[in-house]
Amino acid sequence: MSIKEIKTYKIVTFGCQMNARDSEKLAGILEDKGFSEVADEDTADIVIFNTCTVRENANQKLYGHIGQLKKSYLENKNKIIGICGCMMQEKDEVEKIVEKYPQVKLIFGTHNIDEFGDLIDEVIYTNKKVIKVYDEAENIEKTLPTKRVFDFKCGINIMFGCNNFCTYCIVPYVRGRERSRDVDSIVSEIKKVVAEGVIEIMLLGQNVNSYSGKAGDSYKFNDNNKVTFPELLNEVAKIDGLKRIRFMTSHPKDLSDELIEVIKKNSNICRHIHLPVQSGSDEILKAMNRHYDRSAYLKVIDKIRNNIEDVGITTDIIVGFPGETEKDFEDTLSLINQVSYDAVFTFEYSKRTGTKAAEMENQVPENVVKERFKRLLKVVEDNSGRNVEKYVGRTMDVLVEGEDKVSGKLTGRLSNNYLVHFNGDKELIGRIIDVKLTKSCKFYFEGEIVSKWK
């Protein structure tokens, strides 16, 4: 195969925001080599699947895609199919792929995406299969080129890995131990993207509240030179030209009063907190190793609501964790009713090999999980839209993000993460404008532009 025959690429992302940010780095590396992105997996010379393994259905998605590519691979034997991401940190999955899918030429993991440029060169120039996955991270980061999906917003990693070992979760095994980046390097990366036109960033970590980075030379906060998440956020909020700051995810056990204060004080920090509760039952929360109980969680919710005006609070729920009784499940339903979330993301428990919960004997039968999941969706549906009426009639800041394919209207986002649809010119995409919210449609609003300039 010669480099001349390789011109285009397509990266398919299956996972979370961190996975998506990694894909932007992979794209940056390929762009630097002169390849250009195409929309279609079938026609691309290089296809990279950036996988997720948090739930079984994330894995299945990958196999569906590889299967679909078989025809285009047979027509173009020069096609390079590569797989990376969290699923590749699992030895069994790598073995399965090597055995069943000879068309896959490149496999690497979450700890060596910085080597991607060399690995892809090796495949191109030697035409050999390249498999390189490390069990642990060797270095915390290297500055990699990126190609952003959006010109006006992007994610910024502030930490990697997770130390929490929630008993259902595979992430600590596939992303390794928690590593925080230094404040200096985070701030300089943000300044760079802002200079390139980004106005909204999302600070990314599995548990941003346990951020503990070194201050670096330019930032001295206290004697031991360690910086907390609220301190970092406060620093980031000072960056000129940065209009909006989001962060994801907050673990309820570590959400501090200081964080609430910092949000309150800085209007450019978005009024949105994603605070996954997972279950409303104390027994289940304990078995999940979440380190909070229902009442502690509700206290945090109250504090947030009492201090941050117009805040949007969203959550994740797992239904059917091992040992979950009907009573435990009803506790989850009652918590949802009590908190009145702005959005709830619901998941059926998925058994992940290697986690503690996978070994638990009291797994809930699938039919029970399915039946509970339906009831959960009904409660979530009945609750949706409970908080929105108070916003109707108000004019609020909206970051215009794109066009709604169905209605052709523009879509934008409020600081509290609600979506708004309104008529307007595509030129406005990427700007923050004033929109009057004219109607609530439960989880989004319809609106009218009031002013195009802010």
State the residues that interact with ligand SF4 by CB under 6 A. Answer: 162, 164-166, 169, 171-172, 206-207, 251
Decide: is 53 part of the binding site for ligand F3S (CB under 6 A): yes
The C-alpha atoms of residue 209 and residue 178 are separated, in whole angstroms, by 12
3-state secondary structure (DSSP) of residue 439: strand
Decide: is 349 part of the binding site for ligand SAH (CB under 6 A): yes
The C-alpha atoms of residue 374 and residue 352 are separated, in whole angstroms, by 22
Size of the site for ligand F3S (CB under 6 A): 11
3-state secondary structure (DSSP) of residue 92: helix
Nearer to ligand F3S, 82 or 447 (CB): 82
Q: What is the dihedral of CA 361, 363, 365, 366, to 10 degrees?
A: -140
The C-alpha atoms of residue 336 and residue 4 are separated, in whole angstroms, by 57
Decide: is 19 part of the binding site for ligand F3S (CB under 6 A): yes
Decide: is 54 part of the binding site for ligand F3S (CB under 6 A): yes
Instruction: Name which of 117, 162, 161, 112 is nearest 134 in CA terms.
Output: 112
User: Which amino acid is present at 423?
Assistant: N
Q: Which of 146, 167, 228, 249 binds ligand SAH (CB under 6 A)?
A: 249
Element (H, E) at 422: strand 419-422
Decide: is 206 part of the binding site for ligand SAH (CB under 6 A): yes
Decide: is 171 part of the binding site for ligand F3S (CB under 6 A): yes
Nearer to ligand SAH, 169 or 398 (CB): 169
The pair of three-digit structure tokens given for residue 236, joined into one six-digit string: 């980031």
Chain Cα centroid distance, residue 139: 22
165's contact among ligand SF4, ligand SAH, ligand F3S, none, with CB below 5 to 8 A by partner kind, is ligand SF4
Smallest distance, ligand SAH to C-beta of residue 166, A: 6
Scanning 13-21, 126-134, 234-242, 321-329 for contacts with ligand F3S by CB under 6 A, the matching segment is: 13-21
Cα dihedral sign for 408, 413, 414, 417? Answer: positive
Cβ count within 10 A of residue 240: 7
User: Which amino acid is present at 31?
Assistant: E
The C-alpha atoms of residue 256 and residue 203 are separated, in whole angstroms, by 17
53's contact among ligand F3S, ligand SAH, ligand SF4, none, with CB below 5 to 8 A by partner kind, is ligand F3S
Q: Is the backbone of residue 101 left (phi > 0), alpha (psi -120 to 50) or beta?
A: beta
* Pair 278, 285: CB distance under 8 Å: yes
Smallest distance, ligand F3S to C-beta of residue 138, A: 18
Smallest distance, ligand SAH to C-beta of residue 24, A: 19
Contact code string over 68-107 relative to ligand F3S, x by CB under 6 A: ------------------x---------------------
Smallest distance, ligand F3S to C-beta of residue 13, A: 9
Chain Cα centroid distance, residue 358: 24
229's contact among ligand SF4, ligand SAH, ligand F3S, none, with CB below 5 to 8 A by partner kind, is none
Smallest distance, ligand F3S to C-beta of residue 107, A: 16
Residues 6+ apart with CB under 8 A from 397: 414, 415, 432, 433, 434, 454
Scanning 126-134, 193-201, 347-355, 383-391 for contacts with ligand SAH by CB under 6 A, the matching segment is: 347-355
Nearer to ligand SF4, 89 or 415 (CB): 89
Q: Which of 234, 278, 332, 415 binds ligand SAH (CB under 6 A)?
A: 278
Decide: is 54 part of the binding site for ligand SAH (CB under 6 A): yes
Scanning 168-176, 254-262, 345-353, 380-388 for contacts with ligand F3S by CB under 6 A, the matching segment is: 168-176
* Pair 415, 397: CB distance under 8 Å: yes
Contacting positions for ligand F3S (CB under 6 A):
15-16, 18-19, 52-54, 86, 171, 174-175
